[in-house]
Structures are given as C-alpha cells and as structure tokens.
Amino acid sequence: MPGSRAPGRGATITNRPVVGAVVVTPAIKILEAAGIAHDVTRYDASQAEGDYGIDASNQLGLSPDEVFKTLVAETDAHAFVVGIVPVSGRLDLKKLAAAVRAKKTFMADPAAVEKMTGYVLGGVSPLGQKKRLPTVIDASAQARPRIHVSGGRRGLEISLAPDDLAALTGAQFADIAHAQ
C-alpha cells in the first residue's frame, strides 16, 4: 500500500485511487494534535449512489464489518447523539436509546445533522464535529485492532484503533447494531 509518513506525525496518507494534495479536515487536525496513530485513505466518492459506507468498503477492498458509519439520532428529549456502526449493519434505535438512557431515539433531520456536525451527509466524521455530541460505538469495534470511519469528507476514510476513537470522542461501547 503506497503511503508516506510525515515526520513526527502519526498519520500515513494513502491515495487510492484519487491522487492529489493531502486533505486536512477538523477530524484529521484532532488526530494530529493528539498524536494518535492513524491512516488516511482517499477514494473516488463521486460515483456513490447513496450508501457511502458500502461504496468506501468496496473501493478500498475492505470488509463492510471494518468500515463504520457515523449516524446522528435525536432523543425524545430533543438531544442529539452519535451512533457509530459497521456499514454491514444498521443502527438499532432502541438499543441506542437504552445506551444513552433515553426513552427512544429517531434519526435526526439531515439539515440538523449538517448544522450540528459541520459535515455533509456521507462525510460525517465522529471526530471534529462543531458540537461534541454523546457518542456510542458499536461493541463489535472492540474485536478489531483498527476500524475505518469518515475523515470528514466524502471519499476520505480514517483508520484508527477503536479505543483511540472512544477516547477522543468520549464514547462508550455498546451493542447498538443489528444485521442488515
């Protein structure tokens, strides 16, 4: 896998198949500032037809179980929460509600997601959001040494250790996904 490691930094930037200048997003800035080991991979998201996570998995040759999507839900108390689940599954809103001690959760309005996170749909990263939201990572992530999440732009993926992601987002791990 072609890449280059910046001196004194924790990132390896991998460009495949898109080639060009390195992209820096709020998510990447947070990882760099914290000195967290991570890889940044770019791919061509311009042809994605709605399911950006599956498209990323296919283009990068990764299992859909190791690529995670970042979803924003709203609770019955009108608080927003983040659920991070494998692209191979779906967010179980009842389990997410239980994890955050809410009566129920439902998917947040897309415009509210973009306003709350500062990211466009299909490129919502759990890192570097405008407002830090309570975050729950599906427990399946703990079985993997690294997982892939959005880098804050469509076509940009970050690979990092699940525990590092949890530490940077203040997340908890819980069973919040079910098979698709």
Q: What is the pLDDT of residues 65-109, one digit of tens each?
A: 999 999 999 999 999 999 999 999 999 999 999 999 999 999 999
Closest CA to 97 of 89, 106, 109, 105: 105
Q: Taking the mean position of all CA atoms in its chain, how far away is CA 70? A: 4
Distance CA 57, CA 163 (A): 21
Q: Pick 148 or 6 by higher pLDDT.
A: 148
Superfamily the domain 4-179 falls into: YbaK/aminoacyl-tRNA synthetase-associated domain (3.90.960.10)
Burial class (CB in 10 A: 0-12, 13-18, 19+), 23: middle
Does the pLDDT value for residue 54 go beyond 80? yes
Mean residue pLDDT across the chain? 87
Q: What is the pLDDT of residues 120-163, one digit of tens each?
A: 998 999 999 999 999 999 999 999 999 999 999 999 999 999 99
Look up the pTM and report it: 0.87
